[in-house]
Structure 1
Amino acid sequence: MPATENAAVPDNLLEPSASADPYPVLRALRDADPVHWSEPHRAWLLTRYDDVSAAFQNKAFSSDRVRPLLAARAGRPEQPSTAVLGLMSSWMVVSDPPAHTRLRKLAAGAFKGQGIARMDGMITRIVDEHIDGFLRGSGPQDLIEHIAYPLPTTVIATMLGAAPEDRDRFREWSDELALVAFGAGGTARADRHERALRGLREMDAYIRELIAKRRTDPGEDMLSALMAHDGDADHLSDDELVAMCALLLFAGHETTTNSIANSILALLRRPDELDRLRQEPGLIGPAVEELLRFDGPIKVLIRWVVAETEVGGRTISPGERVHLVLAAANRDPAKFTDPDSLDLERGPNPHLAFGKGIHACIGAQLARMETRIAVSRILARMPELALAGDPQWKVSLASRAMAALPVTHGARRTS
């Protein structure tokens, strides 16, 4: 075990209490032992803003963290968990340069070609469709089930050119992947790898059918944009196209669902800030940035150590893991004044909710837009929105996610 001080500091981020409210635990870690070896996670926990920010630029910390796990399972190729990792190993988010540089360049061109900034009308229509359905109900309802959860997959399925009737399949596939990729705790089902593998294989077959269709009949969708370099010396292979679409679906669904739900919860718990945003809707841009800082969609990003390095006076060795605790960094008082308070006009606001550097989230612009539009339309169309009970938090290492957010909407508004 690496040498560390303050081993008695609570450091199990999968405890139910830490899932419901991780910030007291993270504050204690940051104050007492900001570069902390955690036995429960068998990893170093970095909780200071400057350390986490610097780690994104540190070449000793590799994003290529799936292949080492695969290497350790070389003698167990038949296990579902090994097959799932094999399918995920080609994702851009778990690769390093030069592979990452090439994939990101090709993907960035597709995002640019899609004109994300021009998608606000489409996203607004989808948001309003979900709100319409929500308003037809009465009594306590789950805002996640009816709005925050279906919205991102509807947007992504639409962007990829999938048929509207297939949107539910996209949600199912994303859910199966989340069980594995976001480090679920002890409540996770024992068959999660089997389910994830089944979902990945179904998704693989579906996307390959879409690829074949777009080759003969390209459209204005993201998949066609990703295939725009077909025939060039450097282009995405079919396997890479499948991996890119799977990543867009998975990453875009989970994080945007959490961003919307966490934002609404934070506002409902702070009526003064909620009223302020309703009275000044033009604040929605900086408000979303602050909501992302305050309680963002991702708690932890994982890195694999490939070279000896030093952080905060601690030596971190090759073969160890490092958890970049974004949730702690974004509330570091050394970087943010009064960090545990929600200030919708906070500025500057250099939060790390979407990462930093070459691995900064490529879909951040889309996620921001979806969150801005969803929060704005929910507040505008539900003037009497209120909590109807305590939220149910998922036990997850990486994801800051609720399973349910019960609310009542009161009087209906159609515009």
Structure 2
Amino acid sequence: MEPLDLTDPAVVADPYPAFARARAQAPVQWHEGLGMWLAFTHAECDAVLRDRRLGRIWRDREPAGRFAAFNLVHRNALLEMEPPDHTRLRRLVSAAFARGHVERLRPWVQDLAAGLVDGLVERSGGTDPVDVVGGLAEVLPVAVIAELLGVPDADRPRLRPWSNAIVRMYEYGRTAADEDAAERAAEEFVTYLRGLAAERRRAPREDLLSSLVRVRDADGDRLTEDELVTTCVLLLNAGHEATVNVTGNGLLALQRHPGQLARLRAYPGLLPTAVEELMRFDPPLQLFERTATEDVGIGGVTVRRGQKVAALLGAAARDPAASTDPDTLDVARRDDPHVSFGAGVHFCVGAPLARVELQAAFGALLARTSRLEPGGPPVRRPGFVIRGLAELPVVLG
């Protein structure tokens, strides 16, 4: 079988047939081009995410002088740490989240989603296509994260471009210009957040950034300046990318399965289940790497110490050993053990917030429209790792 080419436009557009072919060959396979093992089944992907011998081991991008800010925001990131550092940092971040910030925002998120959908409906008027990605999917989660952290309204338009530039570094086939843009964005973002954190130290507010500045654990430990800044960058980048892409991917899936869209309209109580199914059906993150800290047997192969192995989350999602008829969208699905939020110690700390946002977005689209019809061909983002749409024209009425 030809090796999986993650830069092939056909694979980027629809990776699932290629995943199925690879899964039929072996659950874990070596990819020479990427220099790592790839896991294609749900069981093996789940094991990659949970096995403590497979860790997130950050190595600075080289040359270090070229990527100083990018390396800083990853070297100190919860996502790139292993215990005991990960345990300490996650405990502090979770303590700040536990102050009720997510639930206090739920009514505000629902109102914001309703207003955004109403604006799209007005512009569409039941006849003209409007872009749901640019008008809802991208706007809602950035506004929510900004509100959660306490970013002033005037500064919020800067957040999405910074995030877009940084996450391009995760893609294969990126250009030198992409790398330069990522470093500039990281440097600007870090500088901005240091200033905002200093303001919150002088004058705390009822926002998450103030809680992160103040939080201490039972031993009196607190976040360092770099950990604080990095946590805010992670919350924005990881915290909104999933919502943006599940909203776009999910609405496209519902349009291509009109029976499921009608079912969800008829039974809105299915919304929480439907959100989980949309995350499974077309995950927003397709590949997540781990590094072996010792030799590990998985899927019939041995991942040697120092080698990388990646869980292909979209392949896991479509594994018939984990879900019945996995290529079928079912908004009432119960056998939905998706790993789109990860698993194990690195399970997404922002998952509750993402669920609030997604339920608000799809709830508003269903409750405040009678038409959700395609308004033109969707435009897919070019990368494989972050899977999403750049545009989704829809006629709303």
Structure 1 residue 190: deviation in Å? 3.1
Structure 1 residue 385: deviation in Å? 1.5
SS in 2 for 1:137: helix
2-structure distance, mates of 1:317, 1:83: 31
Structure 1 residue 276: deviation in Å? 0.7
Determine whether 1:261 maps to 2:248. yes
Selected match of 2:304 from 308, 313, 317: 317
2-structure distance, mates of 1:114, 1:192: 37
SS in 1 for 2:271: helix
CA contact (8 A) 1:12 1:18 kept: yes
- TM score, norm. by length of structure 2: 0.94
Q: Give the match for residue 273 of structure 1.
A: 260
Q: What amino acid is the match of 1:180?
A: M
SS in 1 for 2:98: helix
Structure 1 residue 297: deviation in Å? 1.1
Change over 3 Å in CA distance of 1:190–1:406 after alignment to 2: farther
Unaligned 5+ residue runs, structure 1?
1-7
CA contact (8 A) 2:323 2:335 kept: no
2-structure distance, mates of 1:167, 1:189: 27
Q: What amino acid is the match of 2:153?
A: P
Structure 1 residue 86: deviation in Å? 3.7
Q: Give the match for residue 145 of structure 1.
A: 134
Structure 1 residue 119: deviation in Å? 2.1
Q: Give the match for residue 5 of structure 1.
A: none
SS in 2 for 1:319: coil
Determine whether 1:212 maps to 2:205. no
Q: Deviations over 1:376-403 (max 9, x none)?
A: 1012222112112222222323211112
Q: Give the match for residue 14 of structure 1.
A: 7
Range with bigger deviation, 118-127 or 330-339: 118-127
2-structure distance, mates of 1:395, 1:89: 27
Determine whether 1:25 maps to 2:18. yes
Cα root mean square deviation, aligned: 1.7
Structure 1 residue 40: deviation in Å? 2.7
Q: What amino acid is the match of 2:155?
A: D
SS in 1 for 2:260: helix
Change over 3 Å in CA distance of 1:127–1:189 after alignment to 2: farther
Structure 1 residue 357: deviation in Å? 1.0
Equivalenced residues, count: 393
SS in 1 for 2:273: helix
Change over 3 Å in CA distance of 1:9–1:311 after alignment to 2: farther
Q: Give the match for residue 276 of structure 2.
A: 289
Unaligned 5+ residue runs, structure 2?
none
Determine whether 1:158 maps to 2:147. yes
Determine whether 1:169 maps to 2:173. no
Q: Give the match for residue 43 of structure 1.
A: 36
Q: Give the match for residue 186 of structure 2.
A: 200
Q: Deviations over 1:201-229 (max 9, x none)?
A: 21112211221221122111111111222
Range with bigger deviation, 32-41 or 333-342: 32-41
Q: Deviations over 1:40-81 (max 9, x none)?
A: 3221110111111122221221112x22x44xx3xx33324x
Determine whether 1:361 maps to 2:354. no
SS in 1 for 2:310: strand
Question: Percent identity, aligned pairs only?
Answer: 38
Structure 1 residue 104: deviation in Å? 0.4
2-structure distance, mates of 1:381, 1:223: 33
CA contact (8 A) 2:342 2:348 kept: yes
Q: Give the match for residue 63 of structure 1.
A: 56
CA contact (8 A) 1:9 1:29 kept: no
Q: Which has the higher contact order (CA 8 A, sep 6+)?
A: 2
Q: Give the match for residue 386 of structure 1.
A: 373
Q: Deviations over 1:268-304 (max 9, x none)?
A: 1111110110111111011111111111211111112
2-structure distance, mates of 1:382, 1:189: 41
Structure 1 residue 157: deviation in Å? 0.6
Q: What amino acid is the match of 2:285?
A: I
CA contact (8 A) 1:127 1:147 kept: yes
Range with bigger deviation, 37-46 or 322-331: 37-46
CA contact (8 A) 1:15 1:395 kept: no
Structure 1 residue 10: deviation in Å? 4.0
Structure 1 residue 230: deviation in Å? 5.7
Q: Give the match for residue 224 of structure 1.
A: 210
- TM score, norm. by length of structure 1: 0.90
1-structure distance, mates of 2:156, 2:18: 38
Determine whether 1:119 maps to 2:105. yes
Q: Give the match for residue 54 of structure 1.
A: 47
Q: Give the match for residue 397 of structure 1.
A: 384
2-structure distance, mates of 1:398, 1:111: 28
